[in-house]
Amino acid sequence: MEERKPIPELPERIEGLEALAYNLWWSWHRPAWQLFRVLDPHAWRDSDHNPIRMLAMLTEGMLEEAAQNTSFLEQYDRVMERFEEAVSTEDGWFPEAYGHGEAPLAYFSAEYGLHASLPVYAGGLGVLAGDHLKECSDLAVPIVAVGMIYLRAYVRQKIRDDGWQEDVEEAVDRTYNPITRVLDEDGEPLTVKVPALEPAVHVGVWEVRLGRDRLYLLDPDLEVNRPWDRGIASRLYVSDAEQRLRQEILLGMGGMRVLRALGLEPAAIHLNEGHSFLAVLERIRPRIDDGASFEEAMEDVRKSTIFTTHTPVAAGTDVFPFQLMETYLGEYLGRLGTDRATFLELGTDPEDPDAGFNTTVFALRAAGFRNGVSQRHGEVAREMWGHLWPDETQDEVPIEAITNGVHLPSWVDASWLQPVFDEYLHSSWVEARDDAETWTAVDDVPDDLLWEMHQNLKSDMLAEIDERARAHWHEEKSPAPNVIAFGALLDPEVLTLGFARRFTDYKRPDLIFHDMERFRKMVTDPLRPVQVIFAGEAHPDDAEGKRLIQKIFHVAQDPAFAGRIAFVEDYDQELASYMVPGVDVWLNNPVPPMEASGTSGMKASINGVPNLSILDGWWIEGYNGENGWAFGEEAEGGGEDRREEDAAAIYRLLEKEIIPRYYERSDDGAPERFVRVMKEAIKTVAPRFGTRRMVKDYVKLFYAPALGVERRT
């Protein structure tokens, strides 16, 4: 059955645009996305930078004209040559260092943040997974990924006139998603039966192409399934415990079945958080069928299972009632030759044995390789879960730390900064991006040039925010105070702080309002004012997070703050691409040690935006005294106990350090002392906190031993 795609028939000379549009490789290669923009800049913007949607918008005449345009064809040929080499070659860092393995590693995650055109993510965990896969493609790491596609993938944020967040669920129109339906050998849509769910539940499979890599998304929204079953993947992280367990059965066990249906038997698996924990059982089953005992099969699988925990508090893990686990897995466990008590014990926390089946506890016991996502988080995880290894001291608890990173080609601004890096660091910086020596040349960039590029980024960000505010005024008839609160009066000449992340109590988005009068004086200072841009969503079930948004929105509406506080609605990867490099300082102030890692601050720093951050997560490793500003050591304890001290530290750093540096200008118009911090941020963060370093760490510590390969160069 031939799948109908929205892209019209392209002229033969440029027919490769379709394959390029359906491979998200284009999204992190500047010449590739520029090729689409050159076709029609207006259609590129109107399509939200989605080449599939854009090509569907173009007329036959426009495409024929492009196919005869010598300048466009020269650019097209260069891009397609690089693209074909990137997706077809077997060469790369991993095969050169470790050779070609017989089977890939399978990466499981409940969400993937790859590009705004594919909304199957909710936040930082998904964006990290997306960056991880992109870097694996760049390094030719043999990996295949598994996730789910959601019927209402994205809960869009809508701010009411009173500042309260509404959660608008939208059914996904997959027409323009960069996905293709996987077909079976007869050319029909592939369907796979999910184990342990009765009556039977089947999933369809969608393929996402990421350079060399493939991500397979499971889809239970099939006519063969009952409505209750079709809705298993209605949206990410459902609150209903039973449906959530069914979702995790689908992801883990169904995901392994799908890989086998595709002819893939992974040599190792990497569980990105505990949502896919049941993939372990589906790896055990064939070994038991071959005669191994449950214990023998578990031990064998453990040697090639990797588990990454991102949660710094025990309450953040999934815990299911034992009875619910028995209801769904009882019969399946019988086929594995084990009794229910033996299996349930693997997910029982000895410090709280009556709580239920803890997926993190199970994953920690079922994996031979385990890690937290920063050095500090590794310490926290060893402290949290050390009781699972009662004979070990805390330092000996077998949970490593691999600090997260960000995919530099995706997050270093491509319009203004990458050309500067190409000139002063030379084009080889992209390949040598994890080498500290590569970045020393940042010092050679003239201060006034770097400042000019930053001002361009800031202008782009404010133009985007202004356009969104204008849409509220024009299309939704929002009252004037709301339009101002959405950022209509922001000033490009004013020192701008950015705070953009999930809104929840422990992240303390309102901390900067602690001493409202002191803060107001900074905001409205006639000579050296400050403005703050907030963005981010609260979880649909988080009433306190929504209250914090409302509080900030009300401050933004208040004329006493002169239109210099803004809350920008519906934060996503597209808006992040404007905000992360566009603000002047990135603000982060959670309650320690609640920040397991945090990657938004990394994205800011690699674009020359210094952090003003509490010493938690990655910033403990990243801060060197000259590449941003840190606080938090002044206070002790957590929650409200340290609120006053932390707020005072932020005010002091702003008043004594950041504001003076920003507004002191040299003869060339650049704030020399502020630019010095910008350069130091780029130089120190880019090589150490990129996914290139991160993925190489995973390969060295986990992937190579799990796959049974040794480094040969």
List, for residues 75-98, the tens digit of each pLDDT value.
Answer: 999 999 999 999 987 789 999 999
> Is there a domain that residue 4 lies in?
no
433 CB neighbour count, 10 Å cutoff: 24
Please state, in angstroms and rounded to a whole number, the distance separating the CA atoms of residues 668 and 364. Answer: 56
pLDDT in tens, 535-573: 999 988 899 999 999 999 999 999 999 999 999 999 988
Q: Please report where in the chains the tokens 């990410």 appear, as a residue.
A: 236
Q: Which domain holds residue 65?
A: 12-88
Number of H helices, E strands in the chain: 31, 20
Percentage above 90 pLDDT, the chain: 87
Q: What are the pLDDT digits (tens) for 456-483?
A: 999 999 999 999 999 999 988 899 999 9
- The answer to whether 370 touches 309, Cβ cutoff 8 Å, is yes
Q: How far is CA 303 from CA 283, 703, 706, in A?
A: 12, 11, 6
The answer to whether 555 touches 561, Cβ cutoff 8 Å, is yes
pLDDT reading at 627 higher than 90: yes
Residues 493 and 619 in one domain: yes
- The confidence score (pLDDT) of residue 626 equals 98
pLDDT beyond 70 at 204: yes
Average pLDDT of the residues in 643-672: 96
| Element of type H or E holding 695 | helix 691-698
Task: For residue 311, give the nearest of 248, 394, 374 by alpha carbon.
Answer: 374
- Quick one: CA dihedral 331, 275, 360, 108, positive or negative? positive
**Beta strand pairing call for 201-210 and 213-219:** antiparallel
Distance between CA atoms of residues 47 and 191, nearest Å = 31
pTM of the model: 0.96
Instruction: State the DSSP code for 238.
Output: -
pLDDT in tens, 512-528: 999 999 999 999 999 99
pLDDT higher than threshold 90 for residue 151: no
Predicted confidence at residue 169, as pLDDT, reads 79
Phi then psi for residue 420, to 5 deg, are -65, -45
Confidence at 636, pLDDT banded by 50, 70, 90: low
5 part of a folded domain: no
Over range 44-62, report the average pLDDT: 94
Cα(690)–Cα(602) distance, integer angstroms: 8
Same domain, 119 and 181: yes
d(CA 677, CA 447): 11
Closest CA to 612 of 639, 649, 580, 643: 649
**Residue 2: inside a domain:** no
* pLDDT digits 0-9 by tens, 298-352: 999 999 999 999 988 777 799 999 999 999 999 999 889 888 899 999 999 999 9
- Residue 276 in tokens: 């896919």
89-98, 437-446, 686-695 — which is least confidently predicted? Answer: 89-98
- Among candidate residues 88, 117, 147, the one where a domain is terminated: 88
Q: What distance in Å separates the CA atoms of residue 331 and residue 709, rounded to the nearest whole number?
A: 37
SS3 470: helix
Helix, strand, or coil here: 212? coil
Give the percent of the chain with pLDDT over 70. Answer: 98
Model pLDDT, residue 236: 81
The pair of three-digit structure tokens given for residue 645, joined into one six-digit string: 């001290």
Cβ 120 vs Cβ 203: under 8 Å: no
Domain boundary among 88, 115, 131: 88
Integer angstrom CA distances of residue 547 from 166, 423, 530, 564: 12, 47, 24, 21
- For residues 372 and 396, state if they share a domain: yes
State residue 639's pLDDT score. 57
- For residues 477 and 364, membership in a common domain is answered with no
Statement to judge: residues 83 and 118 lie in one domain: no
Residue 216: give its domain's CATH number: 3.40.50.2000
Name 444's Cβ contacts closer than 8 Å, sequence gap at least 6: 424
Q: What is the pLDDT, as a whole number, of residue 691? A: 98
- Are residue 16 and residue 98 in the same domain, yes or no? no
Residue 467 inside a domain? The answer is yes
Per DSSP, 25 falls in state G
pLDDT band at 637 (very low <50, low <70, confident <90, very high): low
Angle, helices 279-289/359-366, rounded to nearest 10 degrees: 50
Is 448 buried (19+), middle (13-18) or exposed (0-12) by CB count in 10 A?
Answer: middle
Chosen domain end from 66, 88, 110: 88
- Confidence tier at 228 by pLDDT (50, 70, 90): confident
Tokens 């077809």 found at: 88
pLDDT of 72 reads 97
417 and 296 in one domain?
no
Residue 126, classed as helix, strand or coil, is helix
Cis peptide before 610 (omega within 30 of 0): no
Label residue 1 by pLDDT band (50, 70, 90).
very low
- Binned at pLDDT 50, 70 and 90, residue 2 comes out as very low
* C-alpha to C-alpha distance for 692 and 94, rounded to whole angstroms: 12
Q: Is position 1 within any domain?
A: no
Mean pLDDT lowest for which of 170-184, 424-438, 693-707? 170-184
**Is residue 388 located within the same domain as residue 442?**
no
Lowest mean pLDDT among 129-133, 214-218, 502-506: 502-506
* Statement to judge: residues 420 and 388 lie in one domain: no
**Domain-located, residue 7:** no
Phi/psi of residue 69, nearest 5 degrees:
-90, 115
Same domain membership, residue 369 and residue 310: yes
Indicate the DSSP class of residue 396.
Answer: G
- At residue 623's C-alpha, the angle toward residues 621 and 625, to 5°, is 140
Q: Same domain, yes or no, for 315 and 418?
A: no
Counting the structural domains of the chain, the total is: 3
